[in-house]
């Protein structure tokens, strides 16, 4: 004859249910417990059953300590990992992001930055699509890594600009203060060290090459609202105008490769396009938020 139900049994089952992690496979706890008790009642004398209950309670107590410790460890582990945050800046806008370690990132138009808030005891990793100027607070115990397409730029306490727009042939890095290292995310090559006034490009194969001559002023002109074109193609200049003004700028294919050399500071887009068109012997049309640069008609 089976022994009467022990009220402690239901408490054990309820406790296991309440502390089961959401990712743990679900089992029929009631059925398993009933089968176990039936097995014990069929083959064990009542006194042994009572002894078995005492053993089970000791096991349950041990589980309380073990599972409770695991829950505490997991909670602190994920709390230490922090929360992933994303900041998106549309064309025609700029924004500054203050990171919780005291570092700052200014984002150019058409950019996206992902970073972690509240992380502890781990490297500071941020992920950039677009263009950003970084002012990093050095922390010898926590590296600061910028992941931009296939490039990883590691700061050694400095200021630097990273340009990594989708569709661009390479990631560009220019250092204005301090030192950074640049390496491909899957490259076996040694990291390339860059100091103040130096720059590098990283191609689609993850190979970093130091730039022969760098104009830091041109590279970070956007941070003060300036537009500096130094013999860039009209096609690339049009993309820069879109990011700066938030307008659509199309270029006739016959003009796309023409070089543009100009410096603007805060002028309206109509004035900028007028100056570029005159210099290239072209013209532009304006239709709503779309501008088209076309050959001049005779």
From first to last of its 298 residues, what are the pLDDT tens digits of the chain? 555 555 555 555 554 455 444 444 444 545 544 554 554 454 444 555 455 555 554 554 444 444 444 444 344 444 456 788 999 999 999 999 999 899 999 999 999 999 998 876 678 999 999 999 999 988 888 889 999 998 999 987 789 999 999 988 899 999 999 999 999 877 677 889 999 999 999 988 888 999 988 888 889 999 999 999 998 999 999 999 999 999 999 999 999 999 999 999 999 999 999 999 999 999 999 998 899 999 998 6
268 vs 208: CA distance, rounded Å: 37
Q: For residue 52, what is the enclosing H or E element? A: helix 46-81
Quick one: 18 exposed, middle or buried, by C-beta within 10 A (0-12, 13-18, 19+)? Answer: exposed
Instruction: Evaluate whether 220 touches 174 at the Cβ level (below 8 Å).
Output: yes
CATH number of 83-217: 2.60.120.1440
Q: How far apart are CA 121 and CA 175, in angstroms?
A: 27
DSSP 184-203: ETT--SPPEEEETT-EEEE-
Domain boundaries, the chain: 7-80, 83-217, 226-295
H-assigned helices in 169-287: 216-219, 234-245, 269-280
DSSP 68: H
Q: How far apart are CA 96 and CA 80, in angstroms?
A: 25
pLDDT for position 65: 46
CA 63 – CA 68 distance, rounded (Å): 8
b/e sequence 106-129, b meaning 16+ C-beta within 10 Å: bbbbbbebebbeebeeeebebbbb
Domain 226-295 of CATH type 3.55.50.30: yes
Beta partners for residue 96, in sequence order: 106
Retrieve residue 228's tokens. Answer: 């500096």
């Amino acid at each position: 004859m089976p022994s009467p139900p022990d009220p402690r049994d239901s408490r054990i089952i309820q406790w296991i249910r309440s502390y089961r992690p959401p990712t743990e496979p679900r089992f029929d706890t009631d059925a398993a417990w009933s089968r176990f008790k039936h097995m014990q009642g069929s083959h064990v004398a009542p006194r042994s059953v009572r002894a078995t209950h005492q053993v089970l309670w000791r096991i349950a107590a041990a589980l309380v300590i073990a599972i409770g410790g695991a829950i505490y460890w997991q909670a602190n582990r994920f709390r230490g990992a922090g929360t992933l945050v994303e900041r998106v800046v549309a064309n025609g806008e700029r924004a500054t992001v203050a990171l919780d370690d005291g570092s700052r990132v200014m984002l150019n138009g058409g950019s996206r930055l992902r970073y972690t808030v509240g992380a502890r005891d781990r490297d500071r990793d941020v992920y950039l699509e677009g263009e950003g100027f970084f002012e990093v607070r050095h922390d010898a115990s926590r590296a600061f890594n910028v992941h931009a397409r296939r490039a990883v730029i590691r700061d050694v306490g400095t200021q630097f600009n990273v340009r990594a727009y989708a569709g661009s042939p390479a990631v560009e890095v220019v250092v204005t203060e301090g030192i950074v290292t640049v390496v491909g995310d899957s490259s076996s090559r040694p990291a390339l060290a860059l100091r103040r006034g130096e720059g590098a490009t990283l191609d689609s194969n993850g190979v970093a090459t130091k730039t022969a001559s760098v104009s830091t002023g041109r590279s970070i002109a956007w941070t003060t609202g300036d537009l500096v074109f130094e013999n860039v193609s009209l096609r690339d200049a049009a993309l820069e105008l879109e990011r700066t003004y938030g307008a659509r700028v199309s270029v006739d294919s016959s003009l796309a490769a023409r070089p543009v050399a100009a410096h603007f500071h805060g002028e309206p887009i109509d004035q900028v396009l007028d100056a570029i068109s005159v210099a290239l012997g072209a013209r532009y049309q304006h239709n709503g938020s779309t501008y088209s640069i076309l050959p001049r008609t005779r």
